[in-house]
């Protein structure tokens, strides 16, 4: 199988990730904070190391401000519902994944005002239009760093500076950028950053995290056992305990930690160059095939490793099926859980064919899908 669906979940996983999960289950096998025995302390050390590695990746000074969740979706729900109150105003965009759009919609039903700024046909946000949407009561700007539909990279450094200058908090959905693009929470003036573990960070599904800036406290999604501070009925006040009730997915965190170590060892800049090179080859090949439309900037400098396209006269679902069954190539088709993004770029309701090379993809993989698309178009 040629796997080109890394924007959904990176595959295959590095051997280090599989080894770390196996070793944890074999040698430790317990949760954090649930015992003072050697195995319990081993779990504590492993989770601490995972936080430290993520802190290094994001330039976070205090790793206790990184909270583990089971997904970017959970992280975004914690950020939105834990922060916003009736009367608050949020500015977002029309390019958001449902993992952010739906929590914002629910907040709007509870008295939070939400403004979604329209983006252009490539998915790019106009900073002037964002600025015009701000109000005195604006509490939060919330948007994705890199679109999961067109791959467009938003001007997040400028957005962060704008938010900071107005005293507005900035929530960044880094689902498509963590591990694939340089991320520094200080340089980007980010207050909240949500990411999954199973995409660019090369970890297993069922892992994610939320960075919460120092001094910012949220209402937890869950309350209950945290492994410590057990004497009273109130939820602990300190991070990360405050936000991590229940038994953690420690085998998953072990795998995530190993994935982050691989990313740090390779270097995000090198990973970015690798994916840019493959994306450039893909664009060059697609432009040479009559009947292909590329949706987005079609410029590796302006986007991550996410490419949306359509074939004249072909339903995306049919193309995806044929790529899988006839050519052994895995891609994503449809709306990619981002219907408003497809309305923005003009591909609703059928969606697009999304090709997303990743850490282990090769030039041969790109050549194979170009050959397959040409064959499907001109059969």
| Same-domain status, 327 and 346 | yes
Domain containing residue 207 = 15-266
Among positive and negative, which fits the CA dihedral 217, 72, 303, 93? negative
Q: What is the CATH number of the domain that holds 187?
A: 3.40.640.10
What is the pLDDT, as a whole number, of residue 87? Answer: 98
Q: Say if CB 48 and CB 188 are below 8 A apart.
A: no
Distance of alpha carbon 170 from alpha carbon 82, whole angstroms: 14
What is the pLDDT, as a whole number, of residue 293? Answer: 98
| Same-domain status, 199 and 296 | no
User: Which burial class, exposed, middle or buried, applies to 37 when counting CB atoms under 10 A from its CB (0-12, 13-18, 19+)?
Assistant: exposed
| Same-domain status, 273 and 236 | no
What is the pLDDT, as a whole number, of residue 33? Answer: 62
| Same-domain status, 33 and 164 | yes
What is the pLDDT, as a whole number, of residue 29? Answer: 72
The catalytic residue among 337, 367, 368, 377 is 337
| Same-domain status, 255 and 273 | no
Structural domains in the chain (count): 2
| Same-domain status, 100 and 111 | yes
Distance of alpha carbon 372 from alpha carbon 329, whole angstroms: 9
What is the pLDDT, as a whole number, of residue 35? Answer: 61
Distance of alpha carbon 280 from alpha carbon 332, whole angstroms: 19
The DSSP secondary-structure symbol of 65 reads G
What is the pLDDT, as a whole number, of residue 43? Answer: 85
What is the pLDDT, as a whole number, of residue 273? Answer: 98
The torsion defined by the Cα of 75, 115, 58 and 21, in degrees rounded to 10, comes to 30
What is the pLDDT, as a whole number, of residue 79? Answer: 98
- Alpha helices per DSSP H over the chain: 15-27, 38-58, 72-83, 98-109, 127-133, 156-166, 250-266, 268-287, 316-327, 339-345, 363-377
Active site residue 337: yes
Query: Which pLDDT tens digits describe the chain residue by residue (379 residues)?
Result: 999 999 999 999 999 999 999 999 999 878 776 566 767 678 889 999 999 999 999 999 999 999 999 999 999 999 999 999 999 999 999 999 999 999 999 999 999 999 999 999 999 999 999 999 999 999 999 999 999 999 999 999 999 999 999 999 999 999 999 999 999 999 999 999 999 999 999 999 999 999 999 999 999 999 988 776 777 888 888 899 999 998 899 999 999 999 999 999 999 999 999 999 999 999 999 999 999 999 999 999 999 999 999 999 999 999 999 999 999 999 999 999 999 999 999 999 999 999 999 999 999 999 999 999 999 998 7
What is the pLDDT, as a whole number, of residue 31? Answer: 75
Q: Which of 266, 290, 314 is the last residue of a domain?
A: 266
Q: Which of 266, 287, 319 is the last residue of a domain?
A: 266
| Same-domain status, 230 and 278 | no
At 288, give phi and psi (nearest 5°). -90, 0
What is the pLDDT, as a whole number, of residue 137? Answer: 97
The order of strands in the sheet holding 113-117 is: 66-69, 208-212, 192-196, 169-173, 138-144, 89-93, 113-117
| Same-domain status, 51 and 118 | yes
Q: How many CB atoms lie within 10 A of CB 297?
A: 20
Q: Which of 234, 249, 266 is the last residue of a domain?
A: 266
| Same-domain status, 32 and 166 | yes
Q: What is the CATH number of the domain that holds 325?
A: 3.90.1150.10
| Same-domain status, 242 and 121 | yes
What is the pLDDT, as a whole number, of residue 378? Answer: 87
| Same-domain status, 326 and 276 | yes
| Same-domain status, 217 and 148 | yes
């Amino acid at each position: 199988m040629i796997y080109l669906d890394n924007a959904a979940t990176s595959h295959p996983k590095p051997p280090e990730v599989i080894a770390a999960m196996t070793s944890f289950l074999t040698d430790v096998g317990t949760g954090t904070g649930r015992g003072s025995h050697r195995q319990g302390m081993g779990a504590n050390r492993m989770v601490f190391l995972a936080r430290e590695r993520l802190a290094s990746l994001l330039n976070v000074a205090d790793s206790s401000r990184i909270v583990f969740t089971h997904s970017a979706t959970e992280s975004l729900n914690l950020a939105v519902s834990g922060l916003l109150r009736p009367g608050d105003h949020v500015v977002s965009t029309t390019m958001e994944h449902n993992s952010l759009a739906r929590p914002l919609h629910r907040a709007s039903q509870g008295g939070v005002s939400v403004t979604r700024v329209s983006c252009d046909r490539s998915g790019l946000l106009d900073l002037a239009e964002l600025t015009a949407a701000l109000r005195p009561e604006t509490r939060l700007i919330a948007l994705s760093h890199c679109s999961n539909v067109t791959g467009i990279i938003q001007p997040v450094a400028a957005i962060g500076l704008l938010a900071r200058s107005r005293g507005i908090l900035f929530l960044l959905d880094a689902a498509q950028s963590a591990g694939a693009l340089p991320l520094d929470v200080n340089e980007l003036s980010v207050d909240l950053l949500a990411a999954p573990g199973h995409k660019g960070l090369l970890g297993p599904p069922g892992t994610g995290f939320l960075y919460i800036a120092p001094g910012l406290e949220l209402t937890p999604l869950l309350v209950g056992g945290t492994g410590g501070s057990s004497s009273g009925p109130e939820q602990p006040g300190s991070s990360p305990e405050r936000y991590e009730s229940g038994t953690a997915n420690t085998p998953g965190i072990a795998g995530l930690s190993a994935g982050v170590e691989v990313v740090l060892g390779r270097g995000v800049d090198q990973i970015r160059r690798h994916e840019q090179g493959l994306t450039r080859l893909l664009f060059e090949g697609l432009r040479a095939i009559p009947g292909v439309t590329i949706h987005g900037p079609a410029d590796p400098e302006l986007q991550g490793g996410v490419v949306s396209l359509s074939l004249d006269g072909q339903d995306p679902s049919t193309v995806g099926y044929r790529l899988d069954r006839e050519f052994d190539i895995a891609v994503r088709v449809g709306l990619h859980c981002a219907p408003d993004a497809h309305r923005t770029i003009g591909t609703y309701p059928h969606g697009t064919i999304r090709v997303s090379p990743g850490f282990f993809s090769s030039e041969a993989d790109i050549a194979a899908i170009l050959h397959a698309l040409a064959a499907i178009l001109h059969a």
